[in-house]
Amino acid sequence: MIQVTIIGSGNVARHLISAFSQSSFVEIKQVFARQTETLSHLIPSEKITNNFAQIQESDLYIISVTDQAIESVSAQIPFENKLVVHTSGTVSIDNLSSRNRKGVFYPLQTFSKDKKVNFKEIPVCLEAQNEEDYLVLESVAKSISDKPFNISSEQRKALHVAAVFSCNFVNHLYRIGSEICTENNIPFEILYPLIEETADKIKFLSPEEAQTGPAKRNDTTTINAHLNFLQDNTQKEIYKLLTKSIIDNGKKL
Amino acid sequence: MIQVTIIGSGNVARHLISAFSQSSFVEIKQVFARQTETLSHLIPSEKITNNFAQIQESDLYIISVTDQAIESVSAQIPFENKLVVHTSGTVSIDNLSSRNRKGVFYPLQTFSKDKKVNFKEIPVCLEAQNEEDYLVLESVAKSISDKPFNISSEQRKALHVAAVFSCNFVNHLYRIGSEICTENNIPFEILYPLIEETADKIKFLSPEEAQTGPAKRNDTTTINAHLNFLQDNTQKEIYKLLTKSIIDNGKKL
């Protein structure tokens, strides 16, 4: 068994505590939380501390705090040469204090307080400074997830940009779709099956092969009808830019 | 039982034939296909014709051909005052010949030849010129789908624009995400769970509530880092425009 100490009490920290609690490979040695009572439903209170001086020895320390706090928190761990990782998608491994061995343990998912997730399905992006530490992180990740990935800090930066396009921006397009529906007294739920199929299809076809619609067909009659229909200038601009980008991509083939 | 004749042999026609074949409420009276042999695996050959003069009387004619052909095909049905509908998302009900009673029977889904779909889950957008015809269309739709919707031609136009944003444009953003991954030696599949969760989440939260990411937080440090990272000018423009739109939406609240 490997002993893991978690520092933080946010959404990621809580989901990790829940997931590790069900693992027979990992023992949660201790959890650090400024407000110890916020975690009392998840873990016995004698394992929770709000005092850095009381942090005990452990095989692995997982810092799951805001990006801005990672550096200073990592400097307050009262040990040297221990394996210390953070769970951020954007912060470089270099931001961790050099007093300890550094690493990253980044679960790639949107965590909401009230929505249960199946951790087995969540990719965990791992990074370490040497092979031995990497194997420790990999075994810990495998105890809760079927999808460990070796991702460097440089790659993690790219991955975050890709996630902004494929998720944050996608959600904004859902919002525009939903606004157009509402304005025309159409229930947005009518689009759910199509949205679901669009998200599902790319597992079987590349997004390039899966592309359909008027831009893909270069159907200028429909494109112009849609532009005439749109009254909101930002929506019009987004329609034009994405249509042009789809058409240009087609020409590259 | 109601007798339905299908005119056409494309993806939508085939999926309709398969779905109606399993319905005890609908009898497929006949299918018109220019190449009769293309449908021989779906329906007995004596029910297939390629001659308009041989089209028999039926309760409902469903025209499932290309948008451009709907008008002329509808004019060739050798009857008067019958209920004749098309299956297009973009063509107005008015484009059908006035010799018969008009309607629309539009299943809202992307159909691919090789991918099986569960028709029960597919919304069917219905339109008719009178209540009695509407009830016929509704009962036929309910025999294969749990989701009939009353959608006018005007609404259908809006719905198509909403679908372009929520599906076609979304797929293009997946493509950009996938390109960024590939360029950085990251398997695109690492984003599947996040993509799936993003598509799933809007069934429980509005897209407005579900929005996350640097633009939502107005996190200019991350936004600028991402813009510096992006080398492709179109990707940069799309990033800027969608980020601005998310930030402006936030200000409206």
pLDDT of residue B114: 64
The Cα of B184 is separated from the nearest Cα of chain A by a number of Å equal to 6
Q: Using CB atoms, which residue from A171, A176, A245 is nearest to B210?
A: A171
* Interface contact A165-B226, CB threshold 8 A: no
Q: Quick one: three-class SS letters along chain B?
A: CEEEEEECCCHHHHHHHHHHHCCCCEEEEEEECCCHHHHCCCCCHHHEECCHHHCCCCCEEEECCCHHHHHHHHHCCCCCCCEEEECCCCCCHHHCCCCCEEEEEEECCCCCCCCCCCHHHCEEEEEECCHHHHHHHHHHHHCCCCEEEECCHHHHHHHHHHHHHHHHHHHHHHHHHHHHHHHCCCCHHHHHHHHHHHHHHCCCCCHHHHCCCCCCCCCHHHHHHHHHHCCCHHHHHHHHHHHHHHHHHHHHC
Task: Kindly state which CATH superfamily the domain A156-252 is placed in.
Answer: ProC-like, C-terminal domain (1.10.1040.20)
Q: Tens digit of pLDDT for each residue in B201-243?
A: 999 999 999 998 999 989 999 999 999 999 999 999 999 999 9
Q: What residue spans define the domains of chain A?
A: 2-151, 156-252
Q: Using CB atoms, which residue from B168, B193, B214 is nearest to A109?
A: B193
Does residue A108 sit at the B interface (CB-CB below 8 Å)? yes
Cα A71 to chain centroid, rounded: 20
Of B80, B172, B154, the C-alpha closest to A165 is B172
pLDDT, chain A, mean: 94
pLDDT, chain B, mean: 94
Of B82, B127, B16, B136, the C-alpha closest to B33 is B16
Q: Count other Cβ atoms within 10 Å, centred on residue B103.
A: 23
Of A22, A43, A21, A30, the C-alpha closest to A3 is A30
Q: How many CA atoms lie within 13 A of A71 on its CB side?
A: 6
Over residues B58-68, mean pLDDT = 96
Helix (H, G, I), strand (E, B) or coil at A166: helix
Topology (CATH level 3) of domain B2-151: Rossmann fold (3.40.50)
Q: How many CA atoms lie within 13 A of A74 on its CB side?
A: 31
Is pLDDT at A59 greater than 80 in this prediction? yes
Q: Are A172 and B246 a contacting pair, CB within 8 Å?
A: yes
Going from the C-alpha of A104 to that of each of A17, A100, B46, B249, the distances in angstroms are 17, 13, 67, 34
Helix (H, G, I), strand (E, B) or coil at A61: strand
* Interface contact A198-B199, CB threshold 8 A: yes
The Cα of A169 is separated from the nearest Cα of chain B by a number of Å equal to 7
Confidence of residue B115 (pLDDT cuts 50, 70, 90): low
Q: Tens digit of pLDDT for each residue in A71-84?
A: 999 999 999 999 99
Over residues B160-182, mean pLDDT = 97
What does the angle CA B10 – CA B116 – CA B17 come to, to the nearest 5 degrees? 45
Of A214, A192, A180, A26, the C-alpha closest to B156 is A180
CB-based burial, A149-177: b 16+ in 10 Å, e otherwise: bebbbebbbbbbbbbbbbbbbbbbbbbbb
Is pLDDT at B147 greater than 90 in this prediction? yes
* Interface contact B164-A226, CB threshold 8 A: yes
Q: Are B33 and B14 a contacting pair, CB within 8 Å?
A: no
The Cα of B215 is separated from the nearest Cα of chain A by a number of Å equal to 8
Q: Using CB atoms, which residue from B110, B158, B213 is nearest to A229?
A: B158
Q: How many CA atoms lie within 13 A of A106 on its CB side?
A: 26
Residue A218 phi/psi, 5-degree rounding, is 50, 45
Q: Count other Cβ atoms within 10 Å, centred on residue A89.
A: 18
Q: Using CB atoms, which residue from A162, A186, A192 is nearest to B203?
A: A192
- Strands A48-49 and A147-150, sheet pairing: unpaired
Which A positions 219-248 lie with beta carbon below 8 A of chain B?
222, 225-226, 229-230, 234-235, 237-239, 241-242, 244-246, 248
Is pLDDT at A189 greater than 90 in this prediction? yes
Confidence of residue A253 (pLDDT cuts 50, 70, 90): low
Is pLDDT at A113 greater than 70 in this prediction? no
Confidence of residue A248 (pLDDT cuts 50, 70, 90): very high
Q: Tens digit of pLDDT for each residue in A126-173?
A: 999 999 999 999 999 999 999 999 999 999 999 999 999 999 999 999
Which one has a higher pLDDT value, A59 or A212? A59
Cα B140 to chain centroid, rounded: 18
Q: Tens digit of pLDDT for each residue in A3-12?
A: 999 999 998 9
Q: Are A129 and A106 a contacting pair, CB within 8 Å?
A: no
Distance CA A66, CA A69 (A): 5
* Interface contact B168-A225, CB threshold 8 A: no
Q: Are B174 and A152 a contacting pair, CB within 8 Å?
A: no
Cα A144 to chain centroid, rounded: 16
pTM: 0.89
Transcribe A5-18 into DSSP letters. EEE--SHHHHHHHH
Going from the C-alpha of A71 to that of each of A30, A88, A229, B52, B111, the distances in angstroms are 20, 12, 51, 77, 51
Going from the C-alpha of A213 to that of each of B68, B202, B250, the distances in angstroms are 16, 22, 29
What residue in A sits closest to B227 (Cα-Cα)?
A: A161
Token couple for A153: 């800090």
Q: Are B156 and B94 a contacting pair, CB within 8 Å?
A: no
Is pLDDT at A111 greater than 90 in this prediction? no
B210 to chain A: which residues are within 8 Å by CB?
171, 174
Distance CA A40, CA B136 (A): 60
Q: Using CB atoms, which residue from B180, B189, B242 is nearest to A158?
A: B180
